[in-house]
Structure 1
Amino acid sequence: MANLTKNDIAWNTLFARYDLLTKIRNDGYFEITAAQINEERESRLMAKFDHSVNLPAIFKEHHLSILPLSRTKYIVGPFRTHFTIASDLEKQHVFFEIPHNIESISFPNLNSESLALNYAYIAGLITDFLGEEAYQTLSGRMSTGCFGFTINNRSITVENSQCEIDAGFESDNYLLLIEAKNYAVDDFLIRQLYYPFRLWSSKVHKKVIPVLMTFSNDTFTFYEFQFTDISHYSSLILTRAVEYSLQPEPISSDDIMALLQSLSPAESVEGIPFPQADKFERVIDLLGLLTEKELTKDDITENYQFDIRQTQYYTDAGRYLGLIDKTTDGDCVTFRLTDNAIKIFNSSYRNKYLGIIAAMLNKPIFYAVFKESLHNGAVPSRDVIVTIMQEANLSISGTTITRRASTVSSWVNWIWGQIEV
């Protein structure tokens, strides 16, 4: 059970109790009530999977997903409910300026989706994205009304289900409906755009534009979608993507040299493994999530874009850097920011990133590999990094040390990405 979440365990029980696999095999779907789900765990925790990685293990194994039909009923079947964003997607890039007349909300310390949305509006990003002045008119939970649609060749009727709109902005010609995430995403639940789109397309005469907005690594990204067939759940296409970032205060090579001279690298305390987390941007996203509140292991795995293994890898990475604390109370594992991390994330944009770089370079392997990159003018090859790690006697061997070397290479490349050349 160690590698199963609470949702995994509860759904395994429900699948066995109601023989879901047999009924889905025979009928193509199974309708289950909120009351039935609540027998094991609250349905609000058991039936919303923002990313495909959050789906319970038994759903993944049998290529299943779940959609709400009403406030009290759901349908489980072999449905494609998530949209994957291509990793090589081309995006328009725009710089924006801080609105200096605002004191009650500050950049980059936007530690919730609502703060990120408010800031995007105040900074003029919404108006820029739409191409005309817009005003916030919608937010919160509301009833979908009644409508029908098809998914995977199956007709489905929704009757007054609940949907939530993070923000709606109206201009002379458009109604922009935004689903916001305060972290980068690889995929997302189409329903979070489709149900609000169906609701408001029937209420207004203006063009309704569904948008996913992410705030990750201090960059806003707006993904605009279009449903080519309003009655088909999976008909959405991505029409454009725009990144908005602050013109950063430059971090120079001299800043890094001064930082290196001030450090006395030391390995982490025993019991914290050497990192295996190649995407350092995701480490920063996780730290950002923890600025809002402490999170349990299940919170991270069930609500954000981490599976149970990635939750371990990325929280361990933060612990290794001295930026995340872990506490265990029985079966409950909780993570929070360290005092140093809180200090770093309350700093200015420039000092925040210098603080994160300092936490990384304060570890001997990263210090040595970065110094080697300074000497050679390029990040060392994986073989060279493996040699440096072997000479440090890290008690890592075989293919494991090669995987860890990949993390070192990725993180050092990230540092170079922050330096003005």
Structure 2
Amino acid sequence: MGNPSKDIPWLAIFDAYGIHNHDFEEEPFFISAKEIKAACQDFKKTAEKEVRILCYQAQRKDKPQVFVDKGLFLLPVKNGEYAIVKGEGYIDIPDIISEPVLFKPKIKFRLFSNEIGDSEMQHLDYAHAAGMIEDFCEVGDLFLTIRGRKYTPPFSFNVGGTTIHQQSVQTEVDAGYEGENHLVLIEGKNTGVNEVIIRQLYYPYRKWSEEISKSHGKKVIPVFFEKRGIEYMFWMYEFKNENDYNSIKLIKSSRYIVT
């Protein structure tokens, strides 16, 4: 099943640049935001011509039908430039079936401000203040040092049987916590999801591996987080091969309920 608001514009893009006949087994197809905009300039609705909306593919359901039919997904390789890649771009987030951890916060008094609103970051801030993140990661003390958007350094990686050279892409980390020997990077959601595009974990992982691991020897740990009802849910991942986009593996998961 495709995404109706994107189906026709992306067909127009594929028609305009002969992408239907491209051999994706040989290499990705590279396309710029300028080219996407030009191919969609005659559409009337914003959702049918806005590059940011057309290129948003955080989950499989966001992909247009032509991507679904051909087994493709989209990756940014430079600001304003994309690679259309054949392969599996997403990872399923499994249900956590283990019993929840009944967790007593290390906070000495009740916090009220964290109960106002419903953003990923405020839930992460509370989980860190309560000691949940340190308990889950088991790597000692962790201190909040990273938050928000930053650009990646250049790096290359393998995906879909081909090599992509990524030059500089803006990535976002909901929260990054540094310990003595580790750097924990968390991608958070506050709505129920059962999948995520690997890029949201991989690009920050590669950025900080280049910046921190290689110069200071600290291991980078990608973590996916979701606040679901009263439960704080964590999934820890690792990339078996840092140069392989699809080498992501689940290490452990746990869900916490504050007592």
State whether structure 2 residue 5 is matched by structure 1 residue 6. yes
Unpaired runs of 5+ residues, structure 1, are: 248-421
Please identify, of 134-143 and 3-12, the stretch whose mean Cα deviation from structure 2 is larger: 3-12
Aligned mates of 1:71, 1:136 — CA distance in 2: 27
Question: In 2 relative to 1, CA 92–133 (structure 1 residues): closer, same or farther, beyond 3 Å?
Answer: farther
The aligned amino acid for 2:123 is A
- The match for 1:112 is 119
Unpaired runs of 5+ residues, structure 2, are: 41-48
C-alpha contact 1:168 1:178 (8 A) present in aligned 2: yes
Q: Deviations over 1:365-416 (max 9, x none)?
A: xxxxxxxxxxxxxxxxxxxxxxxxxxxxxxxxxxxxxxxxxxxxxxxxxxxx
Structure 1 residue 34: deviation in Å?
A: 1.2
Structure 1 residue 96: deviation in Å?
A: 2.6
SS in 2 for 1:240: strand
Aligned mates of 2:3, 2:244 — CA distance in 1: 34
Aligned mates of 1:110, 1:235 — CA distance in 2: 36
The aligned amino acid for 1:36 is E
Aligned residues: 242
Structure 1 residue 7: deviation in Å?
A: 2.3
The aligned amino acid for 1:129 is F
Question: Which of 141, 151, 155 is residue 147 of structure 1 equivalent to?
Answer: 155
Q: Deviations over 1:63-105 (max 9, x none)?
A: 1111111002101121211012344x54463123465442322
Aligned mates of 2:184, 2:99 — CA distance in 1: 19
Aligned mates of 1:26, 1:234 — CA distance in 2: 16
C-alpha contact 2:29 2:83 (8 A) present in aligned 1: yes
- The match for 2:103 is 96
Aligned mates of 2:31, 2:182 — CA distance in 1: 37
C-alpha contact 2:26 2:162 (8 A) present in aligned 1: no
Please identify, of 19-28 and 118-127, the stretch whose mean Cα deviation from structure 2 is larger: 19-28
- The match for 2:44 is none
- The match for 1:213 is 225
The aligned amino acid for 1:228 is K
Larger Rg: 1
The aligned amino acid for 1:95 is L
Aligned mates of 2:37, 2:125 — CA distance in 1: 35
SS in 2 for 1:105: helix
Structure 1 residue 174: deviation in Å?
A: 1.2
C-alpha contact 1:66 1:79 (8 A) present in aligned 2: no
SS in 1 for 2:183: strand
Question: In 2 relative to 1, CA 173–91 (structure 1 residues): closer, same or farther, beyond 3 Å?
Answer: farther
Structure 1 residue 245: deviation in Å?
A: 1.6
Question: In 2 relative to 1, CA 137–75 (structure 1 residues): closer, same or farther, beyond 3 Å?
Answer: same
Structure 1 residue 26: deviation in Å?
A: 7.9
Question: In 2 relative to 1, CA 19–164 (structure 1 residues): closer, same or farther, beyond 3 Å?
Answer: same
SS in 2 for 1:69: strand
Q: Deviations over 1:302-345 (max 9, x none)?
A: xxxxxxxxxxxxxxxxxxxxxxxxxxxxxxxxxxxxxxxxxxxx
Structure 1 residue 35: deviation in Å?
A: 1.1
Structure 1 residue 184: deviation in Å?
A: 2.5
What percent identity do the matched residue pairs reach? 31
Aligned mates of 1:83, 1:226 — CA distance in 2: 13
Question: In 2 relative to 1, CA 33–175 (structure 1 residues): closer, same or farther, beyond 3 Å?
Answer: same
Aligned mates of 2:84, 2:251 — CA distance in 1: 30
Question: In 2 relative to 1, CA 101–180 (structure 1 residues): closer, same or farther, beyond 3 Å?
Answer: same
Q: Which has the higher strand share?
A: 2
SS in 1 for 2:223: strand
SS in 1 for 2:9: helix
TM-score by length of 2: 0.86
Larger relative contact order, structure 1 or 2 (CA cutoff 8 Å, min sep 6): 2
Structure 1 residue 111: deviation in Å?
A: 1.5
Aligned mates of 1:59, 1:238 — CA distance in 2: 26
- The match for 2:51 is 43
Aligned mates of 1:105, 1:69 — CA distance in 2: 37
State whether structure 2 residue 252 is matched by structure 1 residue 240. yes
Aligned mates of 1:26, 1:105 — CA distance in 2: 49
SS in 2 for 1:136: strand
TM-score by length of 1: 0.54
State whether structure 2 residue 69 is matched by structure 1 residue 61. yes
Question: In 2 relative to 1, CA 103–137 (structure 1 residues): closer, same or farther, beyond 3 Å?
Answer: same
